[in-house]
């Protein structure tokens, strides 16, 4: 059992909170019965499980550790003190893991697959927003998220927390706007942009199944270079003193309409 | 100019980050040109403005301070160091304010007003979610929020930040479930609950103008005692591994449908 906070393994775990360290190792940190359980269930590539017998009172959790250890995954036992040292929670459940990040390319995800819905996000800055968008996309049938240009890290602990595990099921692709543009020219999918400047309300248009919904950053929304690429743009009408919605809210409102149309089409066919 | 962090006024300002201190003083803390500007514009009751000439480079901000001082509002000058001490931002703009909270009762807000839309939230725990719901409600024409029972504080700095100023325009009412129930018996408004257990999709029902949308807590959603009171309940259909949405997302999806129906009715009439 590791009882020292200065242990190199512990230092490595704690450093996974930094984006740079996540990038250089290709790993990310998850914590708690729900997330670790979900990672195992979905077959995520787990580098190691870290647990504190003192804190891990859940039988489900204890079995999880045993099963992983049996199947050859490193299971690192630490004291409660050490666990609390790297834990992100006030009342840690005593189970955490370092997991391999999973990235796709435009080439290996079949963005052309019939009925496939994707989100493309430009320069989203807030990891909480990104995590919430992943969770919402998952619920409304999205395949995954194309992260354009400078974007926050979906493997950031805050994004992980607000994604509620959707980061495991949603496919993640890093892509430049240029690459997406090139791909668009040879692909039959429709690119729909969300922009307050559009004269068309989001519920007045038909959304085909094969769709990419493009959302701009929190601060700027979509700019000229994005709008040019879109097949069409939609706005969310609003009133009052508001001139904007949170980006994860705006994505959800449009996605809910896309999903509604798809559901109604399915019921009819 | 205050240059000491130990100054009692500065201590008071810093303590406004604690809910207890906000409750005992009836004040809350806002920071930045946008929020302070909005508070002034909307006529919020400002207790004092705190500014650092060194940090406050904006002419708009400087005028704001001068005008408030002229109209008799205390304007407290502090050093950049002191400002950074209580500031919530990495790069503070050098302007902040202590503002009087504004609470309504069921008796003084006219919940019966024709066409009036309200949200009722039970035991929302996350101030970021509450702030986002306020912002979304503002955009989709809500009058305000009824906060039921144990709920986080809309004047929490995190709620303030995510509300983007909507806390100034949305009316806030603290009320127990019992009081709301009693009010319901004599009032013509429709209470709609959001619950995953409902067999009715949110887009399959008619929402009258005079509506209260009831949302449960992040963890539990609505329970039996709430559901009993509702005229009807709606669910948001979803797929994939998801069994829930973030509460602010769920509120937005239903509110967008309510607002859409209202907008279409208005256009027709």
Q: For residue A52, give the CATH number of its domain.
A: 3.30.1330.30
- The residue whose two tokens read 């009836």 is B26
- The residue whose two tokens read 């930045």 is B32
DSSP letter assigned to residue B235:
B
**CA atoms of A267 and A65, how far apart (whole Å):** 43
Residues A80 and A124 in one domain: no
Residue B111 lies inside a defined structural domain of this protein = no
* Whole-Å CA distances, B232 to B198, B202, B227: 9, 10, 8
Give the chain B residue nearest A128 (alpha carbons): B128
Residue B234 lies inside a defined structural domain of this protein = yes
Residue B2 lies inside a defined structural domain of this protein = no
Strands (E), B116-210: 117-122, 142-148, 171-175, 190-194
Residues B48 and B156 in one domain: no
Judged by DSSP in three states, A2 sits in strand
| In contact, B78 and B2? CB cutoff 8 Å | yes
Residues A39 and A125 in one domain: no
Q: What is the ipTM of this complex?
A: 0.92
- Structure confidence at residue B9 (pLDDT): 92
- Over residues B56-113, the pLDDT tens digits come to 999 999 999 999 999 999 999 999 999 999 999 999 999 999 999 999 988 888 765 6
Residues B122 and B90 in one domain: no
- Structure confidence at residue A163 (pLDDT): 93
Strands (E), A156-217: 171-175, 190-194, 211-215
**Least CB-CB distance to A238: which of B128, B132, B140?**
B140
**CA atoms of A166 and B245, how far apart (whole Å):** 11
User: Does position B115 have pLDDT exceeding 90, yes or no?
Assistant: no
- Over residues B231-267, the pLDDT tens digits come to 999 999 998 777 789 999 999 999 999 999 999 998 8
| In contact, A175 and A150? CB cutoff 8 Å | no
Residue A198 lies inside a defined structural domain of this protein = yes
Strands (E), B16-170: 27-31, 46-51, 74-77, 95-100, 117-122, 142-148
Residues A239 and A143 in one domain: yes
- Mean per-residue pLDDT for A25-38? 95
* Whole-Å CA distances, A121 to A137, A214, A216: 12, 6, 6
Residues B82 and B128 in one domain: no
Q: Which of B169, B246, B258 to mutate to test the interface with A (most CBs of A within 10 A)?
A: B246
Task: From chain B, pick out residues whose CB is under 8 angstroms from the CB of A252.
Answer: 245, 249, 252-253
Residue A3 lies inside a defined structural domain of this protein = no
Return the sign of the alpha-carbon dihedral for residues B103, B106, B110, B113: positive
**Report field, pTM of the whole predicted structure over 0.90:** yes
CB contact under 8 A, A239 and B132: no
Residues A75 and A157 in one domain: no
Residues A144 and A254 in one domain: yes
User: Does position A113 have pLDDT exceeding 70, yes or no?
Assistant: no
Residues A173 and A261 in one domain: yes
Of the two residues A123 and A248, the one the predictor is more confident about is A248
Residue B109 lies inside a defined structural domain of this protein = no
Q: For residue A202, give the CATH number of its domain.
A: 3.40.1280.10
Both tokens of B43, joined, read 């006529």
**CA atoms of B174 and B148, how far apart (whole Å):** 6
Domain count, chain B: 2
- Over residues A146-186, the pLDDT tens digits come to 999 888 999 999 999 999 989 999 999 999 988 888 888 87
Q: Is A139 on the interface with B (CB under 8 A)?
A: yes
Domain that holds residue A123: 117-268
**Least CB-CB distance to B249: which of A136, A240, A263?**
A136
* Whole-Å CA distances, A221 to A68, A116, A125, A196, B241: 44, 24, 12, 9, 29
Residues in B 201-230 with any Cβ partner in A closer than 8 A? 203
**Helices B127-139 and A247-268, packing angle to 10 deg:** 70
- Over residues A42-83, the pLDDT tens digits come to 899 999 999 999 999 999 999 999 999 999 999 999 999 999
Residue A188 lies inside a defined structural domain of this protein = yes
Residue A185 lies inside a defined structural domain of this protein = yes
Residues B70 and B168 in one domain: no
Residues A220 and A261 in one domain: yes
CB contact under 8 A, B242 and A203: no
Residues B43 and B151 in one domain: no
CB contact under 8 A, A246 and B169: no
- Over residues A221-244, the pLDDT tens digits come to 998 899 999 999 999 999 877 778
3-state helix, strand, coil in chain B (%, to 5): 40, 20, 40
Q: Is B259 on the interface with A (CB under 8 A)?
A: yes
Task: From chain A, pick out residues whose CB is under 8 angstroms from the CB of B138.
Answer: 240-242
């Amino acid at each position: 059992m590791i009882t020292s906070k200065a242990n190199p393994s512990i230092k490595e775990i704690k450093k996974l909170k930094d984006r740079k360290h996540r990038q250089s190792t290709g790993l990310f940190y998850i914590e708690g019965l729900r997330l670790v359980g979900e990672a195992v269930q979905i077959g995520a590539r787990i580098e190691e499980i870290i647990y504190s017998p003192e804190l891990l009172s859940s039988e489900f959790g204890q079995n999880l550790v045993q099963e992983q250890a049996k199947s050859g995954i490193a299971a690192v036992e630490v004291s409660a003190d050490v666990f609390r040292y790297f834990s992100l929670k006030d009342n840690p459940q005593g189970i955490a893991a370092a997991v391999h990040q999973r990235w796709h390319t435009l080439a290996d995800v079949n963005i052309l697959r019939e009925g496939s819905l994707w989100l493309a996000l430009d320069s989203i800055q807030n990891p909480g927003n990104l995590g919430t968008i992943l969770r919402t996309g998952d619920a409304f049938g999205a395949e995954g998220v194309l992260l354009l240009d400078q974007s926050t890290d979906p493997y950031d602990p805050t994004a992980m927390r607000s994604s509620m595990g959707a980061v495991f099921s949603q496919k993640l692709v890093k892509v430049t706007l240029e690459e997406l543009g090139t791909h668009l020219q040879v692909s039959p999918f429709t690119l729909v942009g969300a922009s307050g400047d559009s004269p068309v309300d989001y519920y007045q248009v038909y959304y085909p199944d094969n769709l990419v919904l493009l959302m701009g950053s929190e601060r700027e929304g979509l700019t000229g270079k994005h709008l040019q690429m879109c097949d069409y743009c939609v706005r969310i009408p609003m009133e009052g003193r508001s001139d904007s919605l949170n980006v994860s809210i705006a994505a959800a409102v449009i996605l809910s309409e896309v999903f509604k149309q798809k559901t109604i089409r399915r019921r009819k066919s």
